[in-house]
Structure 1
């Protein structure tokens, strides 16, 4: 299983640091030439590889860490996303309910990535919190996952555990997805909730 992060802003870099902390290799890409952010990527750790968008989309698991409005541009990078897992880390804050067609933002993203298996996750915490070591006071920081594909959610849950987080599945996108989505000027009820799970 290989991984890529598309988007190298605050959240993309924070995710890259989470991979680097655990020594898990990940490619990072933007729509720009990889040379333009290579030094920032390599400064994070040896397993963080700057690459082109065309190369990054070949990964088995792609983290979508771009602005919500930019997701269609990334989706166009492949004619079909069959067999790939897309982790939607976007937030549609400022995007109207009309623009979303009354659907959860993750359903809109899922539609753009034809054939892909979408998991919404890692989006409910601000970068400054996500950037901290997920081991907290003897527990692990919680990340919420929601998907219409239970197998994909299980695989991303296993990755989240490898990264040191405590994954909690919230069910389908049309249910759990509403708890961790932003749209218009509102935030889902679980957005910004910094929770820690203690294993008994």
Structure 2
């Protein structure tokens, strides 16, 4: 399985650190040229490699860590997203009418036609996401939700590889609503830093 993080701001770099900590190869990309990202990528770790958006999107799993308004530009970079799993790690406080009354991830899924979309890695602030998730005798929780049951399995496996404790919330409109903003209000699980103790 190959991985790309699209967006190299605070969240993108925090996720890159999580991959580097476990020596897992990951590609990072953004609107900036890969040469501009390369020094920071190298500083994070040798498994973090900057590439152009076009090359980066060859990966199996794509993590969206761009500002919400930029996701449509990313979606246009491939004519067909079939076979890709897209992890929506974005957050936005946008009036529901601007999202056609949909949760943001449901709205995002429409742009990535053919992809399997999973909401995940979005409820923690970057500084927390960047730290070692093995704490307090357990693992930091990440919440996952998707309307495609098959899509969640590889993301659950990735979260475990990275040292997190994945908790599946079910479909986006059900449990997944707990990690979305609804209009101008954050979902109940946003910014909750929780741990799952070892059995």
> Shorter-normalised TM-score: what interval?
over 0.9
What is aligned with 1:104? 103
d(CA) in 2 for partners of 1:25 and 1:182?
Answer: 31
- Which residue pairs with 1:188 in the alignment? 187
Partner of 1:82: 82
TM-score w.r.t. length of structure 1: 0.98
Alignment TM-score, normalising by the size of structure 2:
0.98
> What is the CA-CA distance between 1:135 and the residue it aligns to?
0.4
Q: Distance in 2 between matches of 1:123 and 1:51?
A: 23
SS in structure 2 of the partner of residue 193 of structure 1: coil
Partner residue in 1 for 2:119: 120
**Cα drift, residue 183 of structure 1:** 4.4
**Deviation per residue, 1:24-46 (Å, 9 max, x gap):** 00000001111111100110000
Map 1:147-166 → 2, pairs under 5 A: 147-166=146-165
Matched residue, 1:129: 128
Unaligned regions of 5+ residues in structure 2, if any?
none
1:44 counterpart residue number:
44
Q: What CA distance in whole angstroms lies between the structure 2 residues aligned with 1:121 and 1:107?
A: 13
User: What CA RMSD, in Å, does the superposition of the two structures yield over aligned residues?
Assistant: 0.8
Alignment match, 2:144: 145
Question: Equivalent residue for 1:15?
Answer: 15
Q: Is the Cα contact below 8 Å between 1:104 and 1:177 reproduced in 2?
A: no
TM-superposed CA distance for 1:177, in Å, is: 2.1
Q: 1:77 & 1:166 partners in 2: Cα distance? A: 32
Give the number of aligned pairs.
199
- Shift in Å, 1:13: 0.2
Post-superposition offset of 1:184: 3.3
